[in-house]
Amino acid sequence: MTPHAQQAAVTCTVCPHECRLAPGAVGRCRARGWQDGASAPLSYGRVTSLAMDPVEKKPLARWKPGGLVLSAGSYGCNLRCPFCQNHTIAQVGADEVAWRSIAPEELVALAAEARMRNPRVVGIAHTYNEPLVCWEYVRDVGVLAHEAGLANVLVSNGCVQPWVADELAPLVDAANIDLKGFTDEYYRWCGGNLQAVCACIERLCAEPGCHVEVTCLIVPERNDDPAQMRALAGWLAQVSTDITLHVTRYFPRWKMEGGYPTPVRTVYELAEVAREVLPHVVVGNC
C-alpha cells in the first residue's frame, strides 16, 4: 500500500451505518476507527466487564439449562436506544471507561480454568455492549474456544451487514438477538436498521449448530401495539418456530429516566399474542 493510500479515508462496511472514516477518525460505534487505511477494531481485546453468569441470564431459556458462561463485554455500540441499560459502557469510547486488555488466548484460558473448578461452566458469552462492532474478537475467541471444547454465546442487537453474520455463524453455538420492534420507525428511533437485524436472525437460524433466541423489550407507547407484536411473531414463526421469544418488561433508563416501566399486564398480553404463532414464548423482568 502506498503512503498516499494509507492516508485515504475508508468506508466501514461492518454495519448499515457505513461510517466514512477519515484518517484518525472513530466510527459512530466508537469501537472501530481508521487505522492504516482500513476500518479497524480499536476495542479489540479491551474488556470493561467480566463475570460468570447463568445462561438463563443472557437470556437463553432453552439451551444448556443450569450452565454458566464467562461473560465478557467491551465498550461501544452502533445503536442509540434511548433506554440503553448499559449506556455507561455501550455509549462511550475508549477514553471514557476503564478497560483492561484480555487477549483471546487469555479469555479462553480463564474459561477453561473456571470449567476445571466447576463443570457447570459451558463456554464464553460476548455480551453487555454490542459485540459485533468488534466481530474479529468474537471470531478469534470463538475459534480458540471450540478448540478447547467450550461453547460460544452471542448476545447482540444483530444490526450488521450479512457478511459479518456469515463469518461468525459457524462459530456461534447459541445467540440471543434483540428484535426491538417491527417497524422502520421504531428502528430509526433506536438508530438501527430492521432489515439488517432480520437478515442476521435468518442467517443464524440457517446455521445447523446455532441455537437462536430473540428478545423484544416492550417500551410503553412505543412498541406495545399488539398488531406490531403479531407481525413480529408472525415473521419469526415463518423463519423458525424453534425460536424462543423473550417478551421483556422495560424499566426507564438513560434518556428515558423519569418515565414509567411497562405494565406487567401489557407484557403478559403481548406474550399471549406471540403465542398465537410461536410455541416458545417467555416473559422477562416481570
Q: Which residues bind ligand SF4 (CB under 6 A)?
A: 12, 14-15, 17-19, 27-29, 32, 39, 77-81, 84, 86, 90, 129-130, 133, 157
| φ and ψ of 180, to 5 deg | -70, -25
- Closer by beta carbon to ligand SF4, 133 or else 274: 133
Q: How far is the CB of 192 from ligand SF4 (least distance, A)?
A: 7
CA pair distance 178, 193, nearest whole angstrom = 12
Q: How far is the CB of 127 from ligand SF4 (least distance, A)?
A: 10
User: % helix / strand / coil in the chain, to the nearest 5?
Assistant: 35, 20, 40
Q: How far is the CB of 184 from ligand SF4 (least distance, A)?
A: 16
- Closer by beta carbon to ligand SF4, 67 or else 158: 158
Q: How far is the CB of 112 from ligand SF4 (least distance, A)?
A: 28
Residue, CB closest to ligand SF4: 27
- Closer by beta carbon to ligand SF4, 42 or else 102: 42
CA pair distance 152, 282, nearest whole angstrom = 23
Q: Which three cell numbers stand for residue 60?
A: 437463553
Instruction: Spell out the residues 6+ positions from residue 279 whose beta carbon is closer than 8 angstroms to its own.
Output: 241
- Closer by beta carbon to ligand SF4, 186 or else 235: 186
CA pair distance 124, 215, nearest whole angstrom = 20
